Chains A and B, each alone.
Chain A
Amino acid sequence: MKRPELVCPAGTPSAMRTAVDAGADAVYCGFQNATNARNFPGLNFTVAELEKSVAHAHAGNTKVLLAVNTFPPAGKLPLWKEAVDTGARLGVDAFIVADIGVADYIAKNHPDIRLHLSVQAAASTPEAIKFYVREFNVKRVVLPRIMTIPEIKNMADEIPCEIETFIFGNHGLMVEGRCSLTNYITGLSTNMDGVCSPAAQVQYLKDDIGNLSTRLGDFTIDCFSCDENAGYPTICKGRYLTPAHDGAYYAFEEPISLNLSTLLPELMAAGVTALKIEGRQRSRAYVKSVVGAFRKAVDSIMAGQEPQIADLLALTEGQKETQGAFKSKTWR
Chain B
Amino acid sequence: MKTKLTIAPILFHWSAERKLDFYARIADEAPVDVVYLGEVICSKRTPFFEKHYDEVAERLTRGGKTVVFSTLAEVMLKRERNMIAGFCALEDYELEINDSAALWHLEGKNYRVGSLMNVYNEDTMAYLAGKGATHFSLPAELPRASVALLAAAAERLGVTLEVQVFGRVSLALSARCYHARAHGRIKDNCQFVCEEDKDGMPLNTLDKEEFLTVNGIQTLSHSYLNLLDGLDDMKAMAVSHYRLVPHTQDMVAVANIFRATLDNKVSASEAGERLAALDIPAPFSNGFWHGQPGHRWVG
What is A's interface to B at a CB cutoff of 8 Å?
Answer: 71-77, 98-102, 104-105, 121-128, 130-132, 134-135, 144, 146-147, 151, 173-175, 177-181, 183-187, 189, 191-192, 213, 217-223, 236, 239-245, 248-249, 251-253, 325, 329-332
Contacts and interface: CB of A to CB of B under 8 A. Distances in A.
Nearest to B221: A184
Interface centre among B85, B99, B126, B153 (most CB of A within 10 A): B99
A173 B101 contact: no
Given A185-B295, A240-B205, A251-B178, A101 B172 contact: no
Contacts of A223: 206
B228 to A, nearest CB: 20
Interface residues of B, number: 76
Interface centre among A185, A325, A332 (most CB of B within 10 A): A332
Given A75-B145, A179-B171, A180-B294, A128 B122 contact: no
B39 interface: no
Contacts of A73: 120-121, 142-143, 146
Contact of B141 (A77, A131, A180): A180
Question: DSSP majority for the B interface?
Answer: mixed
B105 interface: yes
B292 interface: yes
Contact of B211 (A101, A187, A240, A325): A240
B291 A131 contact: no
A65 to B, nearest CB: 21
A118 to B, nearest CB: 11
Nearest to B106: A131
Contact of B122 (A77, A180, A217): A77
A203 B199 CA distance: 31
A47 B212 CA distance: 40
B293 A128 contact: no
Question: DSSP majority for the A interface?
Answer: mixed
B176 interface: yes
A183 B293 contact: yes
Given A127-B104, A251-B181, A98 B186 contact: no
B203 interface: yes
Given A99-B121, A121-B100, A191-B118, A220 B209 contact: yes
Contacts of B231: none
B175 interface: yes
Contacts of B100: 121-123, 127-128, 131-132
